[in-house]
Chain A
């Protein structure tokens, strides 16, 4: 276990060390040598200012908030419609969602690209938002599993009080789904934050860089400046690390539910 932990930690710690070195130190000393000054945060400043990380953080936040909120709405509404109503073609609708889980997103990018382009969404934030909303079927399943455990008698009671279906969804189902919403928000949030190929493929404009693509672009201008690249890397990992520390328990159960469905 200790060996395994070391294998995980050493590559990360080395990057942390390098991010604190000066330009000269990084090129002359070995990677395992500690930095001369442990509080040299200059590289972080460079990464922030020249690496467009602020813009990237804003873009990622916009995309993340809209697509996470949208996923919650879409997922819970789909689950509500499928679980609480009887209607024609219900089997077909469920089948469509089920089969879609089998199709990996990467395989259809060639054609998806043309559709996004036709919609005029290429090179706008909407491309990423639409794709995150449209291709997330796992969260529908999380909601569907959860909504089954909410007693139908609650709906019935509200109905007798004169509530229509939307009021029931809004006032009863949505608040009862809170644990499922938390799970979906965590999974979706981390997935969107980390996603690389959708922003890379659909938003090549440097102004639209997300955390992933902005960091990827460090490769060019900072070429061999590992101290700056390391600082950028640490900055990108840091939010994930903080979220992990605070929400550990939910994260384990969330990803376990998400990856096994």
Chain B
């Protein structure tokens, strides 16, 4: 690179920088003068390549595949237009997976409510706080396959749950994972077990950043615990609650690991992602699977967009 090139390339790079940062123009000018125009790109070369290769290229490809009947192996494929999307929306059994997501969504509301309750209790009660916090949070760190096995054993006929119910005198013969009406509730229960601790830690962090004098003032006014929760805690942690709700919605659309490990999607426990993975890698219907993934992506982006629009004025009342 010659000195001339260097100067020429640097001209336009410096020009927009100065008005962008009016507070410290001198500093920026000095910074830019000391490096070549391509210096930042040297640092960005690898990250951007990876970003494009594993995030943007797949998205573009996915849209492309979704309009074909490609099986993932053969070199040729037919263009089928919107047929995959039509199939997706007209075959009821492909659409049923959304009902399953509904179960997980309901469970995640239970999870948020429980987390909120535990976080509040722990914020009032400091005895053994770290112990309880640790116990409830640990499942979140556990390996998903390990959790799957723990609960396969837990829900087994004659397993832990049945034995526990037996000790309190209940000897039902419920097939926790075998009954299509029950399986998703059992699996959603596992997800509550796994994620409540994370929500709780997030809420607890937010609650603990509330200045202590607010509580003092409230109790001087004779407010009880419930009133303190209703009027001090709930309003101050609203943003984190609404974020959790949004994460719960997109999370319940993308459930995969636990049901796949525990039941493989049998007995009506198939979720959207399990179905997509099976379509693509088991039944070699890459086109249809791509269409289904596009729908999922669109749904999740829609939820996120709604969140971005609502968040400052969000009114999520769980109390």
Contacts and interface: CB of A to CB of B under 8 A. Distances in A.
Contact of B153 (A31, A82, A113, A190): A31
A81, A82, A140, A244 interface centre (most CB from chain B within 10 Å)? A81
B193 to A, nearest CB: 7
A165 B40 CA distance: 9
B27 A196 contact: no
Interface string B288-314: 011001001100110010000000000
A227 B2 CA distance: 71
Interface stretch (B144-152, B171-179, B225-233): B144-152
B143 A237 contact: yes
Contacts of B301: 102-103
B257 interface: yes
- Counting contact residues on chain A (CB < 8 A from B), the size range is 35 or more
B134 A196 contact: no
A233 B137 contact: no
B163 interface: yes
Interface in A1-39: 1, 4-5, 7-12, 14-15, 18, 30-32
Interface in A246-261: 248, 251-252, 255-256, 259-260
A260 B247 CA distance: 10
A88 B16 contact: yes
B153 A230 contact: yes
Nearest to B167: A32
Contact of A107 (B13, B28, B163, B297): B297
Main SS class of interface, B:
helix
Contacts, number: 256
A164 to B, nearest CB: 8
A234 B93 CA distance: 38
A93 B31 CA distance: 19
B40 A81 contact: yes
B223 interface: no
B170 interface: no
B136 A5 contact: yes
A138 interface: no
Contacts of A31: 153, 158-160, 163
A190 B240 CA distance: 23
B82 interface: no
A97 B293 contact: no
A93 B141 contact: no
Contacts of A107: 254, 273, 293, 296-297, 300
A43 B27 CA distance: 65
A111 B62 contact: yes
Contact of A115 (B57, B118, B205, B280): B57
B252 interface: no
Interface in A194-251: 194, 196-197, 201, 211-213, 215-216, 218, 226, 229-230, 232-233, 236-237, 240-241, 243-244, 248, 251
B43 A78 contact: yes
15 contacts: A12-B150, A78-B44, A84-B31, A85-B40, A86-B14, A87-B13, A88-B12, A103-B301, A108-B62, A111-B58, A111-B62, A159-B31, A237-B143, A251-B141, A260-B240
Shortest Cβ-Cβ A-B pairs, 3 listed: A134-B54, A134-B50, A86-B17
